[in-house]
């Protein structure tokens, strides 16, 4: 099968490799390029030593199955890239996203076929109502739902999303489909205009007044933003560190805000299966809305171009499609 193999920083190569030998196989229809994939490609990642196949935001068609799996050949499916055990002390204490016994799908999806162990099928494979590239967004949306759960949202809450990268954009669209007020602050004109064209209030940095927002989602990995927004969030408000900072990096927090103004600073990472299922349901119900985040589709052969496009900050999500012959022009 064809696979886009990551061979080290800045190196991706299309190769012919043996198809996985598994009882359950999914033929990949589309796989989104995630921030983690981009980081691995640009800077390397300790979890993905080369050679490796990246990509975990995928959907596809069942190519091979086994009796009793509940799936038939040809079924469109989304696959959760990992699943919590549901039984360890962290899972039982409600910290399912941090489960220490997570099961992972082995190998990435920037290739034609992904093998799933039979034991993982009932927990991590989900039937889709139809095959559509929008389902590459289920995993990132699941992470967004985990983040939203950390905020305190009332109908009158004012929420600010800092940064309109793909994740910030998904946050904003989620608020939009839920009919909750949301504003995005973003320095890039291209992204700001795109968000505004979706009917979402979008602003330039420097235009936010202190006390204007009750919830502030930081979707950019910059420490100063956390420090600034803890100072300017409303009394009793919440600042969510959605984007991760480097290991060992520290943030200086305004103690007056935390103590006298009862501001909360919180964070989140990843998703639990409940988020994944909810994200799947939301995506199916609002396909048109969430599809706006997909700004390009490219065949595996053009993987390197797709990563370059994302590095330039011009695109939101780019989906790699093994079956695609000629590239559509990304918006």
Query: Which residue ranges make up the site for Zn ion (CB under 5 A)?
Result: 34, 84-85, 88, 91, 99, 101
The residue among 88 and 324 lying less far from Zn ion, judged by its C-beta, is 88
Sheet containing strand 201-203, strands side by side: 201-203, 182-185, 159-162, 215-218, 238-241, 264-267
The distance of closest approach from Cβ of residue 72 to Zn ion in the complex, given in angstroms and rounded to an integer, is 28
DSSP 86: S
The residue among 94 and 155 lying less far from Zn ion, judged by its C-beta, is 94
The residue among 26 and 99 lying less far from Zn ion, judged by its C-beta, is 99
The residue among 20 and 32 lying less far from Zn ion, judged by its C-beta, is 32
The distance of closest approach from Cβ of residue 34 to Zn ion in the complex, given in angstroms and rounded to an integer, is 3
The distance of closest approach from Cβ of residue 274 to Zn ion in the complex, given in angstroms and rounded to an integer, is 13
The distance of closest approach from Cβ of residue 144 to Zn ion in the complex, given in angstroms and rounded to an integer, is 11
The distance of closest approach from Cβ of residue 80 to Zn ion in the complex, given in angstroms and rounded to an integer, is 11
Q: How far apart are CA 283 and CA 78, in angstroms?
A: 12
What b/e readout covers 267-305, taking b as 16+ CB neighbours within 10 angstroms? ebebbbbebbbbbbebbbebbebbebbbbbbbbbbbbbb
| Best CA proximity match to 37, nearest among 81, 99, 72, 98 | 81
Write the CB contacts of 97 (distance below 8 Å, at least 6 apart in sequence).
84, 146, 268, 269, 270, 271, 272
The residue among 88 and 284 lying less far from Zn ion, judged by its C-beta, is 88
The residue among 57 and 63 lying less far from Zn ion, judged by its C-beta, is 57
Q: How far apart are CA 317 and CA 35, in angstroms?
A: 10
| Best CA proximity match to 61, nearest among 127, 144, 145 | 127
The residue among 91 and 116 lying less far from Zn ion, judged by its C-beta, is 91
The distance of closest approach from Cβ of residue 115 to Zn ion in the complex, given in angstroms and rounded to an integer, is 20
| Best CA proximity match to 165, nearest among 123, 119, 219, 125 | 219
**DSSP per-residue codes, 248-291:** T------HHHHHTS--EEEE--S--HHHHHHHHHHHHHTHHHHH
The distance of closest approach from Cβ of residue 279 to Zn ion in the complex, given in angstroms and rounded to an integer, is 12
Q: Cβ of 219: how many Cβ atoms within 10 Å?
A: 26
């Amino acid at each position: 099968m064809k696979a886009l193999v990551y061979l080290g920083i800045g190196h991706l190569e299309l190769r012919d490799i043996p198809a996985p030998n598994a009882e359950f196989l999914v033929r990949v229809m589309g796989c989104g390029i995630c921030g983690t994939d981009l980081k691995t490609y640009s800077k390397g990642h300790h979890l993905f030593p080369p050679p490796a196949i990246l990509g975990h935001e995928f959907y596809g068609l069942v190519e091979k199955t086994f009796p009793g799996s509940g799936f038939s050949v040809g079924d469109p499916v989304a696959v959760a890239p990992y699943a919590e055990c549901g039984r360890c002390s962290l899972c039982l204490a409600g910290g399912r996203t941090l489960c220490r016994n997570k099961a992972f799908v082995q190998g990435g999806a920037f290739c034609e076929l992904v093998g799933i162990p039979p034991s993982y099928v009932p927990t991590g494979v989900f039937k889709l109502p139809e095959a559509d590239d929008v389902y590459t967004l289920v995993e990132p949306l699941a992470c967004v739902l985990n983040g939203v759960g950390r905020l305190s949202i009332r109908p009158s809450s004012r929420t600010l999303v800092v940064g309109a990268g793909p994740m910030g954009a998904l946050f904003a669209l989620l608020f939009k489909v839920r009919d909750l007020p949301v504003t995005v602050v973003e320095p890039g004109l291209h992204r700001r205009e795109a968000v505004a064209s979706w009917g979402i209030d979008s602003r330039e940095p420097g235009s936010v007044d202190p006390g204007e927002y009750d919830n502030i989602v930081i979707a950019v990995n910059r420490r100063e933003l956390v420090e600034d927004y803890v100072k300017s969030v409303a009394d009793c408000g919440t600042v969510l560190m959605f984007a991760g900072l480097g290991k060992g990096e520290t943030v200086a927090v305004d103690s007056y805000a935390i103590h006298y103004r009862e501001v909360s600073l919180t964070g989140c990472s990843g998703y639990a299966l409940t988020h994944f299922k909810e994200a799947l349901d939301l995506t199916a119900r609002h396909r048109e809305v969430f599809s706006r985040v997909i700004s390009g589709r490219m065949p595996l052969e053009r993987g390197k171009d797709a990563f370059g496009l994302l590095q330039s900050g011009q695109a939101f999500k780019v989906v790699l499609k093994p079956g695609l012959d000629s590239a559509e022009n990304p918006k």
